[in-house]
Amino acid sequence: MPLYEYQCRRCDVRTEVLQRRLDTPREAVCEACGSRDLERAYTPFATYRSELDQLRELDPKYYRQVDQAMAATPEADPMRHLQRMRSFDSATEPGEPIRF
């Protein structure tokens, strides 16, 4: 159901009018002074965008900045852990069993 906003030309007050159907225009009356001399006011509206849509619309410069920041920060590279890993066969003694 559309909600329209009208502005009174006499007292400059905005009035909201709920119109149930588009094909039957409703006569708007100012809530403040009762005047019928109203002009339809155009109001901004919001649309829902999911987080994924917002990420898709990011500027490509942002992706470059993130990539450059990660390249400049060695701690951010997940592959750095591979350098510390050893195969199980290279271990001389398995050690004490872990008690849970």
Q: Which sequence spans correspond to the domains of the chain? A: 3-41, 51-85
Helix or strand or coil: residue 92? coil
pTM of this prediction exceeds 0.75: no
User: Is there a contact between 68 and 51 (Cβ–Cβ < 8 Å)?
Assistant: no
The whole-number average pLDDT for the span 49-57 is: 85
pLDDT > 70: what percent of the chain? 93
pLDDT above 60: residue 35: yes
pLDDT at residue number 1: 55
pLDDT band at 52 (very low <50, low <70, confident <90, very high): confident
Reduced to 3 DSSP states, what percent helix, strand and coil does the chain have, rounded to the nearest 5?
30, 15, 55
The whole-number average pLDDT for the span 45-66 is: 84
pLDDT > 90: what percent of the chain? 17
pLDDT digits 0-9 by tens, 1-27: 578 899 999 999 999 888 777 666 667
User: Is there a contact between 39 and 7 (Cβ–Cβ < 8 Å)?
Assistant: yes
To 5 degrees, how large is the angle CA 68–CA 69–CA 70? 90
Q: Which burial class, exposed, middle or buried, applies to 85 when counting CB atoms under 10 A from its CB (0-12, 13-18, 19+)?
A: exposed
Amino acid at 2: P
The whole-number average pLDDT for the span 46-66 is: 84
Q: What is d(CA 86, CA 88) in angstroms, rounded to the nearest whole number? A: 6
The owner of tokens 């019928």 is 36
